[in-house]
Amino acid sequence: MKEHDNIHAAIKGIVDLKKDEVAACRIPDMTVHCVKILPVYFDAVAAGIKPFETRYDDRNYKVGDFMYLREWIPGGRKAGFTGKAVIVEITYKLGEHTGHIFGITEGHCVLGIRHKWKVAITCK
């Protein structure tokens, strides 16, 4: 199966997640992390002007993994997923061993990301 097909197979499995679920979908030799992202950051990532993500490193992010970023509005009556999402590849990870030198709080990381394919998804 081609890499492109693998990604689409992974996404097919996570697009239908319930709105309160956040998961990682594992396909042989590939991990897709499904995570929330606030609208102000989502717009910048989707436009390609924010090539990084700062994250709590509770998912063991690795270079070569993919992130399925789902736009999320927190709190209030309008809280929840907006239905917009984007897929990015993790190209660099800062924080695992030397992040403290650069002021990154222990347990957090900064991930270099790029659009593998120009894809923006509208979820159910």
Please report which confidence band the pLDDT of residue 22 belongs to, taking 50, 70 and 90 as the band edges. very low
Q: Please report, in angstroms and rounded to a whole number, the separation of the first and last CA atoms in the chain.
A: 27
| Mean local confidence (pLDDT), 53-62 | 92
Dihedral angle over CA of 51, 56, 58, 60, nearest 10: 30
Q: How far apart are the C-alpha atoms of 75 and 106, rounded to whole Å?
A: 27
Domain boundaries in the chain?
A: 3-122
The CATH number given to 3-122 is 2.30.130.30
Closest CA to 90 of 58, 120, 124, 51: 51
What pLDDT does 95 receive? Answer: 80
Alpha helical stretches, state H, the chain: 3-15, 39-46
